[in-house]
A and B are shown apart, each in its own frame.
Chain A
Amino acid sequence: MSFAKRGLARAITGFAGAQVITQNADTEPELPPQAIYYANHSSHLDFLTIWAALPDELQKRARPIAAKDYWGSGIRKSMAEKVFNAYLVDRHGSSSTRQRASDSGVSPKGQIQGMTEVLDQGDSLIIFPEGTRGDGESIATFRGGLYRLAEHNPQIPVVPVTLVNVGRILPKGEVIPVPHLSKVVFCEPIRVQPGEDQGSFLTRARAVLIGCLTDHQANFDGEGDNNRENDGAAPPNTENSIQEPEA
């Protein structure tokens, strides 16, 4: 079984052309035994890619948080639960536009509690604090669950993971994935500072991903500015910042 899983993980990273690196060097990352991994979210492939990028030992004890409305029935459910050991959550309780607009970051209490139990058992979590898939270029405001989890046990490092180009492999609304080269960038862990409130922690956590995404998108880039017009929250156009290297 673990042999089959390793094969599957290889197949996923191979298909996604995924290069697994650290933020500042193209080397393989050294990861803590237990962590809360959080990442930008633009594709159903996101949690599979992070799962596949983790080394065997850590992969066994990592539980991706996946949405029940997509992964919660039929063959997807059995795959999510049996193969990827996913923790399924019902996000309808918390995704109403009013709550998102007010940035109150409300998540049903029971779900966060369930996730803290996972952490208490010594397992890692993979979560997507945007709560929903974006267009792959901008990163939406984070919801509060990440802060609660980080606060629950400050000993557990919070590891930012930047997914570059995975959203182009399987964008929102598409069914068939198209191979592109991608990157899984494990950044330096962050922790809740003493006395740090939810808002500033989430802003800091989001800024890490935005900075890392901008750095690495410059290497291989889909412009995608067609989607920008109706997306007021998008960051400034990074496309113009790609200068010809005058070597």
Chain B
Amino acid sequence: MSGWEVGLLDDTAIKLLGGVVIILIMASAAAWILKSRLGATGTITNLTQRINAWWLMAAVIGAVLAAGETVTIVLFLLLSLLALREFITISPTTRGDHKVLVWLVFIIPAVHYWFMWEHWYGMFSVFIPVYAFLFLPARNALAGQTKGFLQRSATIQWALMVCVYAISHTPALLQLPVAMEVGREAAEGSPPGSGGATGAHLLLFLLIVVQGSDVLQYIWGKSLGRHPIAPKVSPNKTWEGFIGGVLSATALGAALWWLTPFTPLAAAALALLSCVMGFAGGLVMSAIKRDRGIKDFGAAIPGHGGIMDRLDSLCFAAPVFFHAVRFFYT
């Protein structure tokens, strides 16, 4: 490979992003044709909004990867905080929880992402599930409100798990290539950016497969969907959408094997795993929204809803993809 690089992006990644741009141009053109044929109905306006948001999201990901690992980590910290804000807004917390919420929002995510930035794998993996999970309920018990204590503590821990811990495994992919090359122990404390272009390839592979799976499930579901999987949770999730979407996104993952250190078969297996996890994430978040009586987590991304509405599948896919790659390839 001839080597010029911008931050974490090399010519391979640029080609891939070029492919994404071509697909988005085709999507925008298709939406434009639909609009001129059928007029601006609600569905088509929503479709256009969604595609415009995809343009923005693709541009942001490309820009932060070009700026390097530190900036990418800061972006995901910001996304975690926005997701956390949406999550605690719909959570049954009370005034008694306020001091714990201050820790939850202002201190713990920053410390967790800092451990990741340090490439300190041990603390990155245990800080939230061990230290934060034991500290938060203890702090809340000190505040003295006992009514609904278990429910409130569990909700706060879940918010942290999903919005911060799970999402953070996406930028953590950037450092995996170091462990692949020099071994897990030598990778501890390696400088930010040392994962190089291979790290960016892993991240783009996961994002394209998981988000592509969402889009493909939507398309298959809209065109062929008949039999809902869990009608009480989400009438829009059908067997036809699930099977069609996951299989086509798996094929997409296999077709992207050249981007990764994986063989085509391994790329397909990892893509399948990520898509199934992504589906589970979407289903779980739908159940939460149903329970709280809301349609979307927020309105941060026009056409899509809130940050959590877009990241629901990634929340479940990223940690599992991260650990599968770490287990088999380092």
A residues whose Cβ falls under 8 Å from a Cβ of B: 17, 19, 135-136, 165, 168, 171-174, 176, 178-181, 218-227, 242-245, 247
Contacts and interface: CB of A to CB of B under 8 A. Distances in A.
Ranked nearest first, the 3 interchain pairs of A and B with the lowest CB-CB distance are: A223-B92, A181-B89, A242-B293
B96 interface: yes
Contacts of A17: 85, 89, 298
A247 B235 contact: yes
Contact of B105 (A135, A172, A178): A178
Given A17-B85, A17-B89, A19-B299, A226 B96 contact: yes
Contacts of B92: 221-223
Given A178-B105, A180-B88, A181-B298, A243 B293 contact: yes
A165 B91 CA distance: 12
Contacts of B226: none
Contacts of B102: 176, 178
Main secondary structure of the interface of B (DSSP, over half): helix
Given A178-B101, A181-B298, A245-B293, A222 B85 contact: no
Contacts of A226: 94-96, 145, 147-148
Contact of B98 (A171, A223, A243): A171
B215 interface: no
Interface in B283-308: 290-294, 298-299
B106 A176 contact: yes
A180 B292 CA distance: 16
Contact of A224 (B90, B95, B99, B293): B95
Contact of A227 (B89, B95, B294, B299): B95
Contact of A181 (B86, B95, B99, B292): B86
Nearest to B84: A179
A221 B90 contact: yes
Contact of B293 (A135, A178, A244): A244
A244 B91 CA distance: 16
Contacts of A171: 95, 98
B93 interface: yes
B299 A223 contact: no
